[in-house]
Amino acid sequence: MAVPDFQSLMLPFLKKLADRKEHSLSEIFDILAEEFHLTPDDRNELLPSGRQSKFENRVGWARTYMKKAGLLESTARAKFRITSRGLEVLAENPPYINVKYLERFPEFLEFRNTASQSTVENIEKNEKNTEYGQTPEEVLESSYLDLRRELAQELLERVKKCSPTFFERLVVDLLVAMGYGGSKVDAGQAIGRSGDEGIDGIIKEDKLGLDVVYIQAKRWEATVGRPIVQAFAGSLEGQRARKGVLITTSNFSQDAKEYVSRIEKKIVLINGEQLAQLMIDHDIGVSEISRYIVKKIDLDYFGDE
């Protein structure tokens, strides 16, 4: 089943603490995973950042919110137990515990009110949409991915409209930024226009030139089919290259992708969306306007406490 949202985890989490004993987060992970019948794949599903599992992130925020409301308390390093208030809540036998429920406690309201107004507005907006129940990290990452998708679309439109000369420079800049072609001078000399508003050439795979890669990049509007990809694969022999990269600002047909997966030659197909994403990753044609660093407690620092 899908990983429950962090609010759905709150009441089951609190019930597991009803024995009044100390518990660790790792214990709760296992107990809740079993209760919700989560598979190993469910438990290992990562947030978009790839830094933490979605399940552990949501359980962690369920704990944080209930701790801020005074339902549980920290006792030792990474351990906690239920409070008298938490026991009172369980005695009421509520059907669920969510953010709205926790707002009855002054400490939780104070915690919420310390957030900036924009943060509060974003939380309220999130609570009204279909993704209600996301943790703050999920909201942040979801917003980041939305911004990135929008930027990639805008970037690709710009690339499609640029001149052949500029397109050639763009591809050279990107390849060098990715570690191919040696210097910009080397890559610029190795790659030239093909006569059809595209570029092609042989570049070094590394700075020493121990191997080479055949590059073709064209601003096709139509979907690139198997015949073009097959012709590109055949041209590797004439270029004395074992590897190739074919770049288009449009897309590749499924037949073309399947053909590449079946042949012995190593060919990478990069479509317009992937091109834009690579440009973002390597800061080609984009500039940074904001940076947000999310930090957490360093438990090792407090290890001797």
pLDDT for position 241: 79
> Coil, strand, or helix at residue 205?
coil
Residue 33 has pLDDT above 80, yes or no: yes
pLDDT for position 193: 54
Contact between 282 and 174 (Cβ < 8 Å) = yes
b/e burial code for range 206-244 (CB count within 10 A of at least 16 → b): eeeeeebbbbbbbbbeeebebebbeebbeebeeeebeeb
What residues contact 155, with CB distance under 8 A and at least 6 apart? 276, 279, 280, 285, 286
The tokens for 274 are: 């992937």
Share of the chain above pLDDT 70, in %: 84
Contact between 93 and 18 (Cβ < 8 Å) = no
User: Which tens digit of pLDDT belongs to each residue from 89-126?
Assistant: 999 999 999 999 999 999 999 887 765 444 444 544 54
CATH topology of domain 159-281: 3.40.1340
Place of tokens 């064209």: 218
C-alpha to C-alpha distance for 68 and 45, rounded to whole angstroms: 27
Torsion from C-alpha of 143, 145, 147, 150, nearest 10 degrees = -140
pLDDT for position 120: 47
Residue 171 has pLDDT above 90, yes or no: no
Mean of per-residue pLDDT scores for the chain: 84
Residue 41's pLDDT band, with cuts at 50, 70 and 90, is very high
Task: Break the chain down into helix, strand, coil percent, rounded to 5.
Answer: 50, 15, 35
**pLDDT: is 194 or 74 the higher one?**
74
The residue ranges of every structural domain in the chain are 10-132, 159-281
Residue 133 has pLDDT above 90, yes or no: no
Residue 9's pLDDT band, with cuts at 50, 70 and 90, is very high
Element holding 82 (H helix, E strand)? strand 79-82
User: Which tens digit of pLDDT belongs to each residue from 178-220?
Assistant: 888 666 666 555 565 555 445 577 777 766 666 778 888 888 8
Query: Residue 20 region, left (φ>0) first, then alpha (ψ -120 to 50), else beta?
Result: left
pLDDT for position 266: 92
Residue range 31-36: average pLDDT?
96
Exposed/middle/buried for residue 1 (C-beta within 10 Å: 0-12, 13-18, 19+)? exposed
**DSSP single-letter state for residue 3:** P
The whole model's pTM is what?
A: 0.65
pLDDT for position 91: 97
For domain 10-132, the CATH class is: mainly alpha
Place of tokens 């690339």: 159
pLDDT for position 19: 96
pLDDT for position 23: 95
Residue 302 has pLDDT above 80, yes or no: no
Query: Residue 203 region, left (φ>0) first, then alpha (ψ -120 to 50), else beta?
Result: beta
Contact between 3 and 55 (Cβ < 8 Å) = yes
